[in-house]
Chains A and B, each alone.
Chain A
Amino acid sequence: MDLASIYRAEYGRCVATLTRLLGDINLAEEAVQDAFTTALQKWQTAPPNPGAWIVTTARNRAVDRLRRETTREARHAEALLLHQPDEPQEVGPVKDDQLRLIFTCCHPALAPDARTALTLRLLGGLDVPEIARAYLTQEATVAQRIVRAKKKIRDAGIPYRVPAEHELPDRLPPVLTVLYLMFNEGYSATTGPLIRTDLCAEAIRLARELAALMPDEPEVLGLLALLLLTEARRPARLGPTGDLVPLADQDRSLWDRALIAEGHDLVRRCLRRNRPGPYQIQAAISAVHTDGAATDWRQVLALYDQLLALAPTPVVALNRAVAVAEVHGPAVALAALEDIDLPGYHRLPATRAELLARLGHHAAARAAYDEAAALATNETERAHLQRRRTELTDPRRTS
């Protein structure tokens, strides 16, 4: 393995462990970066357990650094570092530390934007320019968010620990939201290239870690399954010229069979636990889409009914309407859209346009496509909507 992939795989784990040892996120980051710099100079080939090497080196570098500094705080940190009871040497990253760190990064007392940026920085090892590019934000804004969040963690005493069982209902959802949003932004970027594979890969990597650490939380497994089953369809999502291909027209032979098998397996594990939640149901819907040669829309609709009862949001209602169209026809689906209030979201008029087109109301469909294209922020999606509109005006189609 090259140093870059070791860095991506080990950075978050090492920062997590060093944060526990040093009691301070900034010191931990500096120490881990120092250790990677040393690795770059010293390694001919990577040692068998690179994570353990980085943790040990980072720890030693932190001791050296603290000895050079004379402030009271530094002395206190040094004392903490040197008197970790029962701390075995050279064991490498401790799994629970990553869990601690992700709960700290996604603490509800931090602003939602800061949670994602901090998670990508500390657990994903992405640097500020990478995060800024991923979210098309100014680097200075991202840097400021991260600095403010770290300062609040320290000043307000946001704990570095895994929440107790009874706290999880409040504390797990923000963690799952961060991973879900990270993946979504990668899968369907707000602007710029439609797909950002690095964000998708990072969200899946972190979801896998979380599932390995919390195998008894069905919503964690549900989220991982949802991400895997969505990722599996990515190779078929764009056509040869980079245009968006809707699910119905996708070449299913391009779908990733291994990811689908893994996702289906996770969905079955969730079903056995029988503690359904929004991520598990969305995963089950994705499982139906990726099962066999065609989608069983009745099953999808039944799942959306269940999801809507559990999470009655306008976006769920919109997705349900798409399934209604397949089962009960476009007229019934069009009526279902009338009660949905989603101002500024292009997918509502886009769905209305598709349904109107199917009913042969081409003038109304064109107007709805125009409305959708004006709202779409991503160029690929806008081009797709405009193409659908053009196809409508084709006389061969309108006849």
Chain B
Amino acid sequence: MKQYLLSVHVVEGAPEPSDDEIQTMFRETGRINDEMQAAGAWVFGGGLVSPDSATVVRIENGSTTMSDGPFAETKEHIAGFWVIKCADLDEALAWAEKCAATCGPVEVRPFDDLSQA
């Protein structure tokens, strides 16, 4: 089994979804989570608050500094993600297709095998 990160990408300034759309997205995402759990593919997943509330922690010359805001000042950011376990990329891509239908573009990225317990 391999593990994959499915990350949902949004572009800043894109039109805000309506309340109805948000409701549908929550419902569909919940349904995908249930399906992943039933299939034994679900490891973890969740939505993230906007990057404004991020904090970057660095150790420089032995002392810790913190800075307000995201690590990279980009227009695109990750709005949420799943970690799933699958036999191969094809299975991961099939899940990504379902996620993308609800959440927009999804990046599929394999975990390094050596880092997995």
Contact = CB atoms under 8 A, between A and B. Distances in A.
Size band of the interface chain A makes with B = under 10
B93 A157 contact: no
Contacts of A167: 90
A159 interface: yes
B80 interface: no
Contacts of B86: 157
B90 A155 contact: no
Interface in B60-97: 86-90, 92-93
Nearest to B93: A109
Contacts of A109: 89, 93
Given A155-B112, A159-B88, A167-B90, 10 more contacts: A156-B89, A156-B108, A156-B110, A157-B86, A157-B88, A157-B110, A158-B90, A159-B87, A159-B89, A163-B90
Interface string B30-44: 000000000000000
B93 A155 contact: no
B2 interface: yes
18 contacts: A107-B89, A109-B89, A155-B110, A155-B112, A156-B89, A156-B108, A156-B110, A157-B86, A157-B87, A157-B89, A157-B110, A158-B88, A158-B89, A158-B90, A159-B87, A159-B89, A159-B90, A163-B90
Contacts of A163: 90
A107 B87 CA distance: 16
Nearest to A163: B90
A159 B90 CA distance: 7
Nearest to A160: B88
B86 to A, nearest CB: 8
Give the dominant DSSP class at B's interface. mixed
Interface of B: 2, 86-90, 92-93, 108, 110, 112
Contacts of B88: 157-159
Nearest to A167: B90
Closest 3 CB pairs of A and B: A159-B88, A157-B2, A157-B88
A158 B4 CA distance: 12
A167 B93 CA distance: 12
A163 B94 CA distance: 13
A156 B89 CA distance: 6
Contacts of A158: 88-90
Interface in A142-171: 155-159, 163, 167
B66 to A, nearest CB: 33
B95 to A, nearest CB: 13
A163 B89 CA distance: 12
A155 B111 CA distance: 8
Contacts of B89: 107, 109, 156-159
A350 B93 CA distance: 43
Q: Which of B86, B90, B112 has the most CB of A within 10 A?
A: B90
Q: Which of B2, B88, B108, B112 has the most CB of A within 10 A?
A: B88
A155 B2 CA distance: 9
A116 B48 CA distance: 39
Nearest to B3: A157
A107 B112 CA distance: 21
Contacts of A155: 110, 112
B98 to A, nearest CB: 15
